[in-house]
Amino acid sequence: MSALQIKKGSSKHSAYNLRPNFSDMQERHTLAVLVENEPGVLARVIGLFSGRGYNIESLTVAEVDHEGHLSRITIVTTGTPQVIEQIKAQLGRIVPVHDVHDLTVEGQSVERELALVKVSGSGDKRVEALRLADIFRANVVDSTLESFVFQITGTPDKVDAFADIMRPLGLIEIARTGVAAVSRGS
């Protein structure tokens, strides 16, 4: 204790309060990044993540303006609020990046993912897989005597739930597109 009987860090107004008030809570954010459609841009964006040890849960890239040569990169990542802010700031500094939007913060958005799920089975398992696919609104896009390939579209949680339910019925393989997202409203 000091001569004034005040413990260090005991007051928000204390000059001795050196404890950072950063959050340790991990948050999931969806970032939409508008970039020049030129060679090496994706590598630079991904290099930013790998160079700093940030994780990418989902990544989708597609050209959105052919005449303007612009592509949209949708990235789903997790981190503390400070890490997310750092990612957005660093993305904005890359030269071919035109715009960075945090769809999680900017308001409501729509997220969808497409998956192809291959399930093998015969007899009752085959019938059960078809019944469950109907409940999840998954479509059969290929069928053989030994397997089905289902196409399912929805939120990542819905795709995960469908894969989990198909696992005991003979899930062989799953291919996912990654999250495509757009903000709601104007």
What is residue 1's predicted lDDT score, i.e. its pLDDT?
Answer: 47
In a domain, 22, yes or no: no
Q: Give the C-alpha separation, 104 to 179, whole Å.
A: 13
Q: Is 119 found in the same domain as 172?
A: yes
Instruction: Name the pLDDT band for 13 (thresholds 50, 70, 90).
Output: low
Residue 163 has a pLDDT of 97
Domain that holds residue 88: 27-102
The percent of residues in the chain predicted with pLDDT above 70, rounded, is 88
Is 124 part of any domain? yes
Q: What is the CATH number of the domain that holds 135?
A: 3.30.70.1150
139-160 mean pLDDT: 96
What one-letter code names the amino acid at 37? N
Predicted confidence at residue 7, as pLDDT, reads 55
CATH of the domain at 96: 3.30.70.260
Mean pLDDT to the nearest integer, 172-182: 95
Please give the Cα distance from 93 to 58 (Å, whole number). Answer: 22
Same domain, 147 and 80: no
Q: Which residue has the higher pLDDT, 2 or 165?
A: 165
Domain boundary among 102, 121, 141: 102
Number of domains in the chain: 2
Q: Which of 60, 76, 102 is the last residue of a domain?
A: 102
Q: Are residues 115 and 144 in the same domain?
A: yes
Buried b (16+ CB within 10 A) or exposed e, 26-37: eeebbbbbbbbb
On the question of pLDDT at 155 being above 50, the answer is: yes
Q: Residue 34's pLDDT is what?
A: 95
The separation between CA 100 and the C-alpha centre of its own chain, rounded to angstroms, equals 15
User: Could you tell me which of 133, 112, 119 has the C-alpha nearest to residue 177?
Assistant: 112
| Stated pTM of the model | 0.77
